[in-house]
Structure 1
Amino acid sequence: MSRQGNRRPENPKISRELFVLTYGALVAQLCKDYEHDEDVNKSLETMGHSIGIRLVEDFLARSAVKKCRSYSETIEIIAQVAFKMYLGITPTVTCNSPARNEFSLILEKNPLMDFVEELPAGRSSLCYCSLLCGAIRGALEMIHLDAEVTFIQDALKGDDVTEIGIMFLKKTESKKHKRNK
């Protein structure tokens, strides 16, 4: 008799749908808990940051990507590998600066919004998918890249697409630890 406890689900779409529904319930609860949209947005971004920090190890182990040599290479890996791996989509990447440190990820379809048609009444400042910005920022932080990650366009606010802006601020130095002998 074989053990099936450690097997991955046969249909990854089911787990994605469960995540999307659970995420929707989380956002709804945060809207009940917090009066102001800014507090909900901050909470979602903070949760996403924590997820991004933890997701890096899984991503590096499962994807076997090599060290990126440029910001543009890093953003391509995020779009083509990470988004595909975790959300089942591949955003379009655009570069927004001559210095090649500002990029946009354009999502024609945002899977976090699969079951959401509009923002709740009176919640026009809510950034429903702030979790994504936090996750990207947290993951980049773990590979020693400081970045500002924000929503530029939001399909839930009437835009044609969802656009996430990523501005690389600087490469942080990894701290070398000396071993005591």
Structure 2
Amino acid sequence: MSRSLNRKQEIYKIDWQLPAVSSSASAHHISRDLFVLSYGALVAQLCKDYERDEDVNKYLDAMGYNIGIRLIEDFLANTGIKKCRNYNETVDVIAKVAFKMYLGITPTMIGGNDGGNGFSLILDTNPLDDYVEELPSGRSSLSYCNLLSGIIRGALEMIHLPADVTFIQDRLRGDDVTEIGITFLRKSDEKKSKRNK
């Protein structure tokens, strides 16, 4: 009896350790695909749990925010990037370094509103919606990739750059591209940095 019990326990032992981070593209691709599929399952479950799209959007944003406040430390440690001189440079780093590093894409940056504190990131492709053709029926105001806006907002807040981050266009809502708007909530310190040079 004890022998069959031990055997049963061995069957249920699962080694959940993931392979060490590899520089090979295939290892990165597998983990990205796993993340994208897991994310789709998460959004589907949230849609079952919450009737209103606003609640799902808020939950995804809060989850992203929590990821962002932790992810910034990894980003700074692995890139060695120092303080950016202005908002334009900050958004450029987000587009060309952070998105490339974590999602394997490089969005196009469109800069500045009249105040110089508003920018847009245009994503021609979005890995989070690779396996999604359209939003679930009855979910027209769902912001499927709202996790990204939360991540950006959380990371920026940790480096003392509070910002409002929202989806302006979304391919899943019928737009040609996905556009994320970033509006910094403080005036730029560009004049200060020019004086200090």
Residue of structure 2 in register with 1:8 after alignment: 21
* DSSP 3-state at the match of 1:26: helix
CA distance in 2 between counterparts of 1:5 and 1:92 reads 33
Q: Which has the higher strand share?
A: 1
Greater C-alpha Rg? 2
Unaligned segments of structure 2, at least 5 residues: 1-16, 188-197
**CA displacement, residues 82-104 of structure 1 (integer Å, 9 cap, x when unaligned):** 00000000000001313221000
Residue of structure 2 in register with 1:25 after alignment: 41
2:183 maps to amino acid: M
Runs of 4+ in 1 over 4 A off after TM superposition: none
CA distance in 1 between counterparts of 2:178 and 2:135 reads 14
User: Which aligned pairs between 1:52-131 and structure 2 lie closer than 5 A?
Assistant: 52-131=68-147
CA distance in 2 between counterparts of 1:110 and 1:61 reads 25
When the two chains are superposed, the root-mean-square deviation of aligned CA atoms in Å is 1.4
Residue of structure 2 in register with 1:168 after alignment: 184
CA distance in 1 between counterparts of 2:138 and 2:147 reads 20
Q: Which has the higher helix share?
A: 2
CA distance in 2 between counterparts of 1:18 and 1:66 reads 32
**CA displacement, residues 134-157 of structure 1 (integer Å, 9 cap, x when unaligned):** 000000000001100001000000
Aligned residues: 168
Identity %: 69
CA distance in 1 between counterparts of 2:65 and 2:32 reads 19
- Measured after TM superposition, the shift of residue 66 of structure 1 is 1.4
